[in-house]
Structure 1
């Protein structure tokens, strides 16, 4: 890659390499056609053109390093001398001298302003027919052109520098924003990992309570019935029947505990279909019509998130059947870029969230969502129905927080 002076992008650097050579070639052709009457003039024109082309190689060679402040100053000073000599040869070389305005980009700081004014002083000579025509009558006109072109050039330079400053600030702001987004993503992933660990611990504690409160007691009862049957051979059938009943109840409890970990409906269908099927079964049982909608493009998510949304929808409908007295229910699952929303609305009796926290059902929903870094919002008032809004991060299946 060629030179990239400070503050210039790739496109500007290419322009700085290409435009001077294009302007030099056009100037040479114009001078040869219109102002080269003798062989000496022809050779002078070709010699000046070759000198300018070689001098421009200082900053135009592919792979050349960015010129430092001193090299840039020397290059630009030599360029101004070339401009003056070439315009002295023919004012038509003013087209090439005009590139001094854009090549001032090689200069640093306030030296760019000096370069602009110096270029205006050289180029303005072409407006009076070249340096050879400077005399008492043309100098005032020349100075007016110098002042006018300098003012315009400096104004354009100021505007360009402001534009570049604004672009640099915008780039810095975008960089800070991207860094903040990456940091937030990292914090979010860390929070989700911690929530998942807490969820695993809570689930273990729940399973321990389930085993202690139901399965362990059930097995104790079964053992007691079998021991009683051994001690009372005459009535063994009655004790065996009771043991069988306890075993079936324990089996049902075990199945219920396992299903609480991963609903079987999610193994058979995607989340929208699983929620729709569960809602349809709930509607048949409760007699309350329920409408289910899905917005956005459904995407498979990690199991913890899908289970949390399914259980929240299930618990919300259970609460409607128990407490709302609703005549209809609406359920919407919305997939966005970074989150998934679940809204459950009913037209029931409602309640005041500031007075009534909704009981165990809403507490259970909040805990489930917290385990996956989600949140739950309740909108309700007496006689106005209830809206439950659940939000969870849209973590695709296979993601590892």
Structure 2
């Protein structure tokens, strides 16, 4: 086989299957519509032979007729593609018989063969193109096969198999790329949706935070300002009714006002209750109970059980506020003579029990004020429980249990 033919065979194989794998879609369109014209013109210009011009013109006319004269809806039909390929291969072969350089134009037949359907027809067209492109330089397919049939059939089989294999691999990679592109599109859509949900959750979190802060302030105001003003009014009324105790009542009301003002400031700034600043929870509860007993003139007994240990500040503040609210309710409603406070430290819980021997009430008709509902909200916010037991004439027992979360 002539050396030039072997070089062209190698070049045509690389060109047909593409060194970079699958052809991009834009390159496919360029190959389909322009490559044959470019290769035909290039071979014609390089050859510098006038005797090939009529045949080259016929090839150009054939390309124009099959590419543009045929209605667009028929161009992709299998029969039209087959006729177009057969004519192109015939003209390319005749040109190559005249001038070997028209092998360049013959290369476009590989791409035309790849468009044929069904697949066996495309494989046959590839084999025919390979046979012509490799044997014309050796006298044509009949002479080449008569001289060295094994050699030429092997070359044709290898080249056809390589092009088919490269095409299949390219299509597979193209399908995988398309699947990846679709997956990326879905991922981008999911990320966009997640971003929207994230913004929505942030908005909801801000709204929930604002609502929680309003609830916290309403509870703190009730547990500080409202209770303090109630105590001050009680002391002033008592001073008016008992002039002999006027000075003591006024001093108590003044102390209550100062204490109430300090607690209000601490509540607005979300600070720990004042009694917990300089004392542990048992001592703070005992001090609160003693001051309340002096103001209300109701006997209070405080008891702590278990091993006292520092709790999380929120736990201690909640128990202190529950105690203050419970004592305030006793002073306003119970008409009790004795009150008992018990703080119990257990392994996994810390519990505050407040019991009185007052008039009691029906828990089912306790109303919707800030008293018991406020205590319940405080306790539930920390995953705790609040139990209320009472009956008219039988006193009241309130038990608040919170998880025993130690201080950091």
Report the TM-score when normalising by structure 1.
0.49
Larger radius of gyration: 2
TM-score by length of 2: 0.48
